Structure 1
Amino acid sequence: MKRPIARPTATANAPGTDPALRTPRAFAPTAVELTGSDFDPAPDETLLAPPPRPMGWLGRLAWTSGGVLLSAALGLAADRLIRDLFAANPWLGWLGLGVLAAFLVAVLALAVREVFALRRLLVLDALRRDAALTTLDNDQQRGRHVVDKLVAIYGDRPDQARARQTVIDHLPHLFDGHEIIALAERSLMAPLDARAKALTAASARRVALVTAVSPRALIDIAFVLYESVRLAGAIAALYGARPGLFGFWRLTGAVLTHLAVTGGLVLTDGLVEQLVGQGLAAKLSARLGEGVVNGLMTVRVGIAAMRVVRPLPFETQPQPVVRDFIPELTKLATDSAKTT
């Protein structure tokens, strides 16, 4: 059997063919209509939580005076206690003095750790702002400064060793600020984003399952709060924040501010329409439906924590949205309904 051969039906010199008719022509549109996307528009950067404003002089005065008074009261109480112990028995006084010294050393160590934790959060916030300005102004020097700080932050992370080496190898060949930030985001942030999404999905699954089987609404609320706090701390540690007590309160305030600015459970993402459109309201029981909703609330907390703590803005990587987690939650709910 012979192989098929394609033969032209007309040649350049064939009669009836006009070369002028075969040349490409350009057409100018008479009207242009701009239409918006119906599915998951890119979140506006202005909806992100604004940086916290510095405390005014009145607030600083109140906190300083209150701290001085509290320190004086605690110092006088400790002095009175040690004097009473020495008056009762000398060895009790020395024992109390040693315990007081150990307490002061522990408090000092905790204070130093809290200062470093707050400083790390401030450094990540500053890096995010500098990266946004670098992309806007295409500043090469600022971009290299941001990348150097990121490499230093993740310098002791074995899981980021290959990503750091990739950035270090390619950085000398880049001359545009936005390309430098894009390289850092693709190499350093993309693996962390995937792990943060996995943490968020796992936490949402736990919330959905506990809500479906718990007998009391109070248990649901307590577990949702526990998982939200735990998830925010895990995502912050993943991106390198490692918040302490006061740092965690600051992180919680930033996450709540972000949720308030972006509208809480965001009906703008079309969650209710999707759930009703898929017929889940008729397929799932009331408890499973509540589990899905509570899981979506946990997803919102995880997404807010990612946007607040992430040291680089989302430029080349897709921003996480609630819609990405709906199929997994609905599948979990339907599987639970089939087993029960």
Structure 2
Amino acid sequence: MKRPVARPIDPSEVTEAPRRMPRAFAAEAAIPTEAAFEAQAEDTEAFESPQPRKMGWLGRLAWSTAGALVSLGVGLAIDRLIRDLFDRQEWLGWLALAIAALLVLAILVLAIREYLGVRRLQALGDLRDQAQAAVETDRPADAKKILGRLETIYAARPDMARARKVLADDSGNMLDGAEQIHLAERQLMAPLDARARALTAQSARRVALVTAVSPRALIDVGFVIYESVKLGGAIARLYGARPGFIGSWRLAGAILAHLAVTGGLVLTDGLVEQLVGQGLAQKLSARLGEGVVNGLMTVRVGIAAMRVVRPLPFVTQDQPLVRDFIGDLANVSRTMQEEKR
């Protein structure tokens, strides 16, 4: 049995809908408009790393005179001790004299090491400024000098041997000085940047965990300071600075100056909410929230250390930002939240 089909009796009743003709604008009727873009505020992360402020002549005079007085006092005390030992037993006097000579030798060696450490730290900053100037001038001769200094810095690094070889082979075929600097940044700085980011992420995770589980606020402060100093020294050694005790203090001062310029000491609640996700910040405990904030501060210290000791400016490589480490701290926060449940 066939399915019934309705058919119209009068074919004249079937009307087709009128077809729509394609429309087009005349050339003279088109009005070209430009897209309006709102100017965005510059990211504070793009500031150049400030150089450590040098001490004035009055400060140098005060520290020099104080050091001279302390040295004279220590010298007189050692001289009196050696004379007393000679009066009691001659062999004790000679033993004390030999120990004093070893002490003076050790102090001289430490002073030389500290001086070299400070010089290396200053050399990296000067090299960064010279590399920036070489990129702007685009002179091959200036770029060759920069590459030579980089070769000297990383000559004793086995992990940089392949990158140095590639740089030496490819830079000879380039005529532009800026392109040579860019190649050096891609070959030498890119792997070091990745390792510095990994060190910063690991340090931030440790700070967040310790802060979340520590029973005293004093422990939190001490561990954050210790981890920040340790992270700054590790990043400086990674880029070739190897600062000593005095160099570490200068590096800490430069990092604090960078954070002060870029507003790194300001952390808002919106940044924490961005870190831990929508609505999750309200569910976190106070200790876990403090761990997140301390972890963010450690991240800022690591980023500042990278920009202070990096021998080349950020041109071809992306500058590190706090949001690059959000995933690591978010995983730590979620893991600890799940463990508490």
TM-score, scaled relative to structure 1 = 0.86
Deviations 1:293-325 (A, max 9, x none): 111111011001001111111110000100011
**CA shift at 1:239, angstroms?**
0.6
Deviations 1:187-220 (A, max 9, x none): 0000000000000000111111111111111111
Please give the residue correspondences for 1:202-281 in structure 2 after superposition, counting only pairs within 5 Å: 202-267=202-267, 271-272=271-272, 274-275=274-275, 278-281=278-281
1:97 aligns with 2:100: no
CA contact (8 A) 2:52 2:250 kept: no
Which residue of structure 2 lines up, in the alignment, with residue 315 of structure 1?
Answer: 315
Which residue of structure 2 lines up, in the alignment, with residue 106 of structure 1?
Answer: 106
Which residue of structure 2 lines up, in the alignment, with residue 9 of structure 1?
Answer: none
CA contact (8 A) 1:86 1:94 kept: yes
Pair 1:190–1:89, CA change in 2 (3 A): same
Which residue of structure 1 lines up, in the alignment, with residue 19 of structure 2?
Answer: none
The residue type equivalent to 2:286 in the other structure is A
Which residue of structure 1 lines up, in the alignment, with residue 140 of structure 2?
Answer: 140
- Provide the aligned C-alpha RMSD in A: 2.2
1:162 aligns with 2:162: yes
> How far apart are the structure 2 equivalents of 1:41 and 1:51?
20
**CA shift at 1:28, angstroms?**
8.8
**CA shift at 1:62, angstroms?**
2.6
Deviations 1:85-113 (A, max 9, x none): 10111011011001101111110110010
Which residue of structure 1 lines up, in the alignment, with residue 153 of structure 2?
Answer: 153
> How far apart are the structure 1 equivalents of 2:240 and 2:88?
51
**CA shift at 1:52, angstroms?**
2.8
Which residue of structure 1 lines up, in the alignment, with residue 21 of structure 2?
Answer: none
Which residue of structure 1 lines up, in the alignment, with residue 201 of structure 2?
Answer: 201
CA contact (8 A) 2:272 2:293 kept: no
Pair 1:146–1:266, CA change in 2 (3 A): farther
> How far apart are the structure 2 equivalents of 1:54 and 1:288?
40
From 30, 33, 36, the counterpart of 1:33: 36
> How far apart are the structure 1 equivalents of 2:270 and 2:262?
14
1:300 aligns with 2:305: no
> How far apart are the structure 2 equivalents of 1:138 and 1:161?
26
> How far apart are the structure 1 equivalents of 2:185 and 2:49?
20
Give the secondary-structure state (helix, strand or coil) at the position aligned to 1:250.
Answer: helix
Deviations 1:38-64 (A, max 9, x none): 9x95833xx334223443333333333
Which residue of structure 2 lines up, in the alignment, with residue 77 of structure 1?
Answer: 77
The residue type equivalent to 1:99 in the other structure is I
**CA shift at 1:33, angstroms?**
1.9
CA contact (8 A) 2:273 2:281 kept: no
CA contact (8 A) 1:167 1:184 kept: yes
Pair 1:281–1:55, CA change in 2 (3 A): closer
Structure 2 segments unaligned to the other structure (5+ residues): 1-23, 25-29
TM-score, scaled relative to structure 2 = 0.86
**CA shift at 1:133, angstroms?**
0.7
Pair 1:53–1:267, CA change in 2 (3 A): closer
Give the secondary-structure state (helix, strand or coil) at the position aligned to 1:173.
Answer: coil
CA contact (8 A) 2:267 2:293 kept: no
CA contact (8 A) 1:164 1:187 kept: yes
Aligned length: 312
More deviation, 144-153/48-57: 48-57
CA contact (8 A) 1:174 1:180 kept: yes
Deviations 1:229-272 (A, max 9, x none): 11111111111110001000000000011111111244589614
**CA shift at 1:32, angstroms?**
4.5
**CA shift at 1:67, angstroms?**
2.9
Higher radius of gyration, 1 or 2: 2
- Percent sequence identity over matched residues? 61
> How far apart are the structure 1 equivalents of 2:111 and 2:213?
42
Please give the residue correspondences for 1:56-71 in structure 2 after superposition, counting only pairs within 5 Å: 56-71=56-71
> How far apart are the structure 2 equivalents of 1:148 and 1:235?
22
Which residue of structure 2 lines up, in the alignment, with residue 7 of structure 1?
Answer: none
CA contact (8 A) 2:182 2:315 kept: yes
The residue type equivalent to 2:314 in the other structure is F
Pair 1:269–1:250, CA change in 2 (3 A): farther
> How far apart are the structure 2 equivalents of 1:36 and 1:164?
41
Give the secondary-structure state (helix, strand or coil) at the position aligned to 1:43.
Answer: helix
